[in-house]
């Protein structure tokens, strides 16, 4: 018997607040893959909880991550990706799309991490009920209430993604290495020193890190620097040279080259596109 297929948008917010906005929320019931193949790039963050079915996640660094019921998926702005059920299959999900300064800060702090896109959560039904309640509730109609809702969503993300990471399958040395790699993005850091700090030979560390995260340690650290740069371009009027210096790039040209390679646009173009509503920023 074929199960009924439905996609329902529970709420949309086109205005937002100074902290951010819970932009779009909804549900997919026994749906086929909705994303265009091979990839798409969003201008906002998204959280997906898969509660029925199996599939996979794909991006430039990860050719295939299996997804089963109870997995969450995080995507970040400007990151090319695809996810969905297997060909001919279906799955059910709850999804939240959101953006704004508070979520940029969570991305810079590693809670919303494109380098760690798929994590399991448990118990599934409890998390499904919490996300469904948040998505389906009547949206507040005052600025203060809407800001409190954005703070609630931020806290929910910290609880969901932080707890999942602490309890997940990643080995303790690799979790510690991730912390060391992002502890001070402005400093020079020898990867051999990180390996020694977590008690692994360098080649073992490098292989285990890539197996756990889908990225090399150097690429992971660069991704975090670029994510932090995106947040600074959106949220501050720091010059590009100041951003480059604060994040450990050799100079502004080095920063611009690395940024374009990762994001697909220059820092100047990115800032212009993402701060149009906030007025001009200094270069």
| pLDDT of amino acid 170 | 54
User: Per residue in 36-54, pLDDT tens?
Assistant: 567 888 899 999 999 988 8
- pLDDT level of residue 35 (50, 70, 90 thresholds): low
- Residue 260: count of CB within 10 angstroms of its CB: 14
Q: Does residue 268 lie within any of the structural domains?
A: yes
Q: Give per-residue pLDDT as tens, 90-99.
A: 889 999 999 9
Q: Are residues 93 and 73 in the same domain?
A: yes
Q: By C-alpha distance, which of 186, 185, 282 is closest to 238? A: 282
Task: Give pLDDT, residue 162.
Answer: 66
| 283 lies in some domain | no
Q: Residue 133's CB: how many other CB atoms inside 10 A?
A: 9
The mean pLDDT of 33-38, rounded to a whole number, is 63
The radius of gyration of the chain from alpha carbons, rounded to an integer in Å, stands at 19
pLDDT digit string, tens, across residues 163-220? 444 444 456 788 788 888 887 888 889 999 999 988 889 999 999 888 877 789 999 8
Q: Does residue 71 share a domain with residue 23?
A: yes
Tokens, residue 131: 């996300």
Q: Does residue 135 sit in the same domain as residue 190?
A: no
User: Is the residue at 58 inside a domain?
Assistant: yes
Closest C-alpha to 46, from 206, 185, 153, 204? 153
Which range of residues forms the domain containing residue 246? 172-277
Give the pLDDT band of residue 4 (cuts 50, 70, 90): very low
Identify the CA nearest to 102 among candidates 90, 92, 111, 93: 111
End residue of a domain, out of 133, 167, 201? 167
pTM metric for this prediction: 0.61
State the Cα–Cα distance between residues 206 and 146, nearest whole angstrom.
44
The count of structural domains within the chain is: 2
Query: Tell me, what's the pLDDT at 73?
Result: 94
Q: Is 282 inside any structural domain? A: no
């Amino acid at each position: 018997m074929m199960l009924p297929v439905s996609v329902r948008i529970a709420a949309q917010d086109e205005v937002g607040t100074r902290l951010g906005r819970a932009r779009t929320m909804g549900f997919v019931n026994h749906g086929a893959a909705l994303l265009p193949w091979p990839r798409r790039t969003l201008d906002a963050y998204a959280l997906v909880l898969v509660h029925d079915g199996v599939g996979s996640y794909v991006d430039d660094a990860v050719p295939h991550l299996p997804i089963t019921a109870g997995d969450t998926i995080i995507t970040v702005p400007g990151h090319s990706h695809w996810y969905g059920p297997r060909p001919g299959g279906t799955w059910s999900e709850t999804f939240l799309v959101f953006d704004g300064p508070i979520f940029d800060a969570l991305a810079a702090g590693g809670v919303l991490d494109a380098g760690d896109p798929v994590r399991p959560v448990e118990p599934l039904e409890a998390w499904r009920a919490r996300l469904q309640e948040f998505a389906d509730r009547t949206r507040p109609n005052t600025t203060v209430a809407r800001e409190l809702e954005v703070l609630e969503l931020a806290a929910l993300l910290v609880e969901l993604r932080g707890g999942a990471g602490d309890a997940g399958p990643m080995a303790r040395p690799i979790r510690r290495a991730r912390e060391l790699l992002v502890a001070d993005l402005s400093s020079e850091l020898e990867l051999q020193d990180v390996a020694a700090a977590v008690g692994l030979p360098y080649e073992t560390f490098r292989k285990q890190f890539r197996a756990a995260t889908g990225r090399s340690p150097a690429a992971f650290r660069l991704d975090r620097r670029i994510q932090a740069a995106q947040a600074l371009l959106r949220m501050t009027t720091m010059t590009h040279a100041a951003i480059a210096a604060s994040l450990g790039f050799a100079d502004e040209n080095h920063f611009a080259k690395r940024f374009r390679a990762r994001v697909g646009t220059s820092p100047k173009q990115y800032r212009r596109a993402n701060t149009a509503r906030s007025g001009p920023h200094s270069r």
